[in-house]
Amino acid sequence: MENNKPLGLTPAMGWNSWNTFTWDINEQLIRDVADLFVSEGYKDAGYEYIVIDDCWSLKERDSAGNLVADPAKFPSGMRALADYIHEKGLKFGMYSCVGTHTCAGYPGSFEHEFQDARLFAEWGVDFLKYDYCFKPRHISGELLYKRMSLALKNCGRDILFSACNWGEDNVYQWIRESGAHMYRSTVDIQDHWDSIKKLALSQLDKECYTGSFCHNDLDMLVVGMYGGSNNNFIASQIGGCNDNEYKTHFALWSMMGSPLMIGCDIRKANQATKDILMNKDLIAINQDLEGRGAYRIKPEPQWFHAEDVFMLVKVLSDGDIAVGFFNLSDRQREISLLFWDIGLPYASGTSLSLYDCWEQKEIGVFKERFSPVVPAHDCLVVRAKLV
């Protein structure tokens, strides 16, 4: 617990090396990201975790059975790197796997859970992403995540536990009880519009499976990648997305309460990318302390709209209501919200004052309904106040 905020209360915010760099990671890269978190305003916006993903270790454990950081990539060692990050008021994250090996073929934590948890604590780790490759068939994923959760809770250090089993094995039914603070509910994201759309649609109507201390993780953000990655699967070889699509991607993840883990090379981030990633109004919705899921409303007339045109509604702790108007279709749409559908009947005599979270300005006061026209692959997110 830090600053009286319990571990995992709100969705994690940070950066992860995998989307852009995969195997090509090193100490200087991580230090550069930490420096930019402070100098470019990411830290002030709420981002705090800097996470090294797969490929950080040697291919064999040492004679005592410990994991060994690759000295060619991390010559100062993980403790020194953690200290550097902590000195900037940030937190340090690492990666392991439930199986005998990680997804890239490095040593996994199977049958070494407690030993590895103690080592991570000694290194000053604050966040552990725990992947699902090379899982032994005779042991359930549920039990393997419970193992590492128990190991982390008894390692002598607060470590946020990020379970990454890609939505397998009915994870929604047991993950909260396992002790994980966040869990992957989807396959890996790719840096193109169809992937973002598919992942978002797969998680609609699952708002009851996310909340404080156990957040539904829709995978790392691809905002600002523009098709640039060492990972051909993530880059998808078709040039990434445009800024409106990245804006919609960020709004979906924010409204749905997903952790916000940056995946682009922030050393090359343009102003549009920074404006999306550091939008204070979307981040405030994502980090709202009540941690309520966002429920879906289909626009009227419902028979006219396919599943890729919808609204997400999230009740906030101060009584405001966040409403996202999402048009994931390929043509412009009018999306009509009837206030009746969010619990505000005409008989209440109450109107809604609407604030545009992207333009960061007041829209106006409305009674009974609001019907914006939303371009293809775009969105509008408003914060509504009863007046």
Distance from chain centroid for Cα 321: 22
Q: Which of 32, 70, 169, 188 is catalytic?
A: 188
Amino acid residing at 259: P
- d(CA 131, CA 318) in angstroms, rounded, equals 36
- d(CA 67, CA 7) in angstroms, rounded, equals 26
Q: Which of 53, 54, 131, 219 is catalytic?
A: 131
Opening angle at CA 221, ends 167 and 76, nearest 5: 100
Contacts of 223 (CB under 8 A, 6+ apart): 246, 249, 250, 262, 263, 264, 273, 276, 277
List the alpha helices (DSSP H) in 70-154: 78-87, 113-123, 141-153
- d(CA 73, CA 27) in angstroms, rounded, equals 6
DSSP 300: S
Cis peptide before 301 (omega within 30 of 0): yes
Identify which of 187, 326, 302 has the alpha carbon closest to the alpha carbon of residue 251.
326
- d(CA 129, CA 51) in angstroms, rounded, equals 8
| 158 annotated active-site | no
Tokens of 282: 């979307």
Tokens of 365: 């006061």
Cα→Cα distances 358→13, 64, 272, 355, Å: 19, 53, 12, 9
DSSP 363: E
| 288 annotated active-site | no
Contacts of 154 (CB under 8 A, 6+ apart): 114, 117
Is residue 372 packed enough to be buried (19+ CB in 10 Å), middle (13-18) or exposed (0-12)?
Answer: middle
- d(CA 70, CA 94) in angstroms, rounded, equals 13
- d(CA 155, CA 117) in angstroms, rounded, equals 6
Residues catalogued as catalytic: 131, 188
